[in-house]
Structure 1
Amino acid sequence: MDFEKQYTVDPAHIDVQGIMDGLYYPFYMESCRHDFIREVLGFDLEEQAHQGVFMVLSQYTIKYLRSLKKDDAFSVTCTLYADKSGGPRLHFKQNIVMNGKVMTTAVFTGTCVPAAGGRPYLPDAIKALVADAPQLEVETLK
């Protein structure tokens, strides 16, 4: 389940060094991931929140390889992975790519929790999609 969206660096995200501030890379990845979750997984975050289901991040790792600059056009990819241990977790491997070169790579891990509190779980519709996803290997940031 590969997914890709196109973006252009917002000039407001450029720091004093003339490169995109590191805080904004995860924001572009979040935008792509949320579109993936809605468009591919069929899970509308806002609608589900109103129904008492929160999809939340539990962790992420990110590796910066190259810097983006003002007005750079780039793509963000998103690929779903199942949890190797079978736990109620979703893993999203994401890359920021420009001109065929990976600029940044990351893995975001999430789950669902009841809005009223309780243990992490995956809704049945999500479980079915994750069942066909490849399992996340230990070393993912290559």
Structure 2
Amino acid sequence: MEFVKQYTVNPAHIDVQGIMDGLYYPFYMETCRHDFIREVLGFDLEEQAHKGVFMVLSQYTIKYLRSLKKDDAFTVNCVLYADKAGAPRLHFKQDIIMNGKIMTSATFTGTCVPATGGRPYLPEAIKSLLVDAPVLEV
């Protein structure tokens, strides 16, 4: 299932070259991913944090293909993937797309950990959603 959100480049994110600073691409992806996690997966990050469950990133890779400029309108997508080895990890493939062209592509990997410390795990509600998810092939 692909989740998609629309955005417009914030003028404050433009650098001296007239393009969006590379720091902000992952932030737009994060906003989309957090909405996906809440709206599709039913996992409210703030609510779960108060219950002692932290969803955290363990890594990400990103490819910058084209630059966004001031006032560009673009979409960010998010697709959930299961871990090939069956580890307690979630993988989110995301793209920033403008006019049908991929501007930036990334894969974010995360898991859940107890707020008090301990081993990574996935809550049962999240695990059940991974049953039908495609497996991330590296």
| Cα deviations by residue, 1:45-83 (Å, 9 ceiling, x for unpaired) | 000000000000000000000000000000000000000
2:128 paired with 1:122: no
- Once the two structures are superposed, residues 6-45 of structure 1 have per-residue CA deviations (whole angstroms, 9 ceiling, x without a partner) of 0000000000000000000000000000000000000000
What residue number does 1:72 align with?
72
CA distance in 2, matches of 1:46, 1:94: 22
Aligned-partner SS, 2:119: coil
In the aligned structure 2, how far is the partner of 1:131 from the partner of 1:19?
A: 40
Superposed displacement of residue 100, structure 1? 0.3
Runs of 4+ in 1 over 6 A off after TM superposition: none
Deviation of 1:131 after TM superposition, in Å, equals: 1.3
Q: Deviations over 1:87-136 (max 9, x none)?
A: 00000000000000000000000000000000000000000001110000
The one-letter amino acid paired with 1:122 is L
Task: Give % identity.
Answer: 85
Mapping of residues 54-133 of structure 1, within 5 Å: 54-133=54-133
Aligned equivalents of 1:77 and 1:130: distance in 2?
18
Q: Does 2:45 correspond to 1:36?
A: no
TM-score (ref. length: structure 2): 1.00
RMSD, aligned CA = 0.3
> Which blocks of at least 5 consecutive residues in structure 1 are unaligned?
none
| Structure 2 match to 1:48 | 48
Scaled by the length of structure 1, the TM-score of the pair is 0.97
Structure 1 equivalent of residue 11 of structure 2: 11
Distance in 1, matches of 2:59 and 2:15, equals: 26
